[in-house]
Amino acid sequence: MAEATDVLARRCLRRYGFRIEYPVVTGGVVSELRELDESLFIPEKQARKHGFSRLPEKPGKTTAKKHRRSGHLSREEVIDMLTVLNGTPPLDGRAKDKPASPTAVERFEGKNLPRHGCRGEASEKLSAGMRLPVRGQSPGGELDAVNYVQGLRRQASERLENDHRVKKVTEQWKRCFKEKTGLSYPNPYAAARDPRWIEDDKASSEEISAAVAHTRCQLRLNYLGVVESLMAAYEKRAETQNKTDLQSVDRFFDARIKRSERMVRQAN
């Protein structure tokens, strides 16, 4: 869906004079959630070498920022392009006919802009003719549907945090980790995300020791086995209680993905 949104958004940008050859819409909530989950448990071999977070960049990986540097646009042109893409006011630049409202730019170079910019127009086109599963204001209904499911996931997480079995295994992990390192954190998430671990380019000996202990204590107590099985149970309960609405969300995204796949194939 991100690829198809990018195809449509760049077509929209061309109407306003921006011929962009690199992706302007990338990523997605699924990859963000996967990265978040993978940050909790670190294999010991990786922990010994990189601590909590320092993995070498994969060869050939190119960031959006690097793409932008190679795009032959001036700073003002990039600001204007982002304004047209997102429908938000620029910091400066040449956006024309700026309305009194500080929350949106409605026209650019004498042409009306889509209500939510080219990104919003693209999202609406991907959902055109589909029944939206959740009421809301997001263009194309995608974000509303995602937020609905994420809301159910948050509710399950809150119930999980209050489960006595999770509290017990977390206390056991805290004792194990403190015995090995002398450090105290409320849970493994907090230990892995301590800001000091990202201050230096290279993992310190203290960070490596903490990362190894972080992993060993989880394995000793089957921490993730306990937490993930209980989370699955709470999510299953939420799924059962909201079955009809979730089936509507499922059908919506199935249809959207099929349309996206066709669009990406045609563009290539």
Q: Mean of the pLDDT values across residues 201-227?
A: 93
The better pLDDT of the pair 57, 253 is held by: 253
Q: Identify the pLDDT of residue 92.
A: 45
Which among 214, 173, 166 is positioned nearest to 47, based on CA atoms?
214
DSSP 141: G
- CA distance linking residue 184 with residue 231, whole number of Å: 25
Q: Identify the pLDDT of residue 93.
A: 44
Indicate the range of 46-50, 127-131, 210-214 predicted with least confidence. Answer: 46-50
Of all residues in the chain, the percent with pLDDT exceeding 90 is 57
Q: Residue 5 above 80 pLDDT?
A: yes
Residue 6 near residue 23, CB atoms below 8 Å:
yes
Q: How confident is the model at residue 30 (pLDDT cuts 50, 70, 90)?
A: low
Q: Identify the pLDDT of residue 65.
A: 40
The better pLDDT of the pair 71, 10 is held by: 10
Which among 62, 83, 65, 81 is positioned nearest to 73, based on CA atoms?
81
The better pLDDT of the pair 177, 197 is held by: 177
Cα-based distances in Å from 224 to 50, 61, 111, 230, 231 = 21, 30, 54, 10, 10
- The chain-wide mean pLDDT, for the chain, equals 84
Indicate the range of 14-23, 87-96, 166-175, 180-189 predicted with least confidence. Answer: 87-96
Indicate the range of 57-61, 62-66, 214-218 predicted with least confidence. Answer: 62-66
Q: How confident is the model at residue 251 (pLDDT cuts 50, 70, 90)?
A: very high
The pTM for the full model equals 0.72
Q: Identify the pLDDT of residue 61.
A: 40
- CA distance linking residue 233 with residue 119, whole number of Å: 37
Q: Mean of the pLDDT values across residues 65-72?
A: 44
Q: Identify the pLDDT of residue 63.
A: 39
Q: Identify the pLDDT of residue 38.
A: 56
Strands (DSSP E) contained in the chain are: 107-108, 111-112
**Helix and strand tally (H, E) in the chain?**
12, 2
Secondary structure, 3-state, 2-62 = HHHHHHHHHHHHHHCCCCCCCCCCCCCHHHHHHHHHHCCCCCHHHHHHHCCCCCCCCCCCC
Per-residue pLDDT of 74-106, as tens digits, reads: 888 888 888 899 886 544 444 444 444 434 567
Q: Identify the pLDDT of residue 101.
A: 43
Q: Mean of the pLDDT values across residues 217-225?
A: 96
CB atoms within 10 A of CB 25: 21
Q: Identify the pLDDT of residue 107.
A: 80
Q: Identify the pLDDT of residue 167.
A: 97
Please say whether the dihedral angle defined by the alpha carbons of residues 91, 94, 95 and 101, taken in this order, is positive or negative.
positive
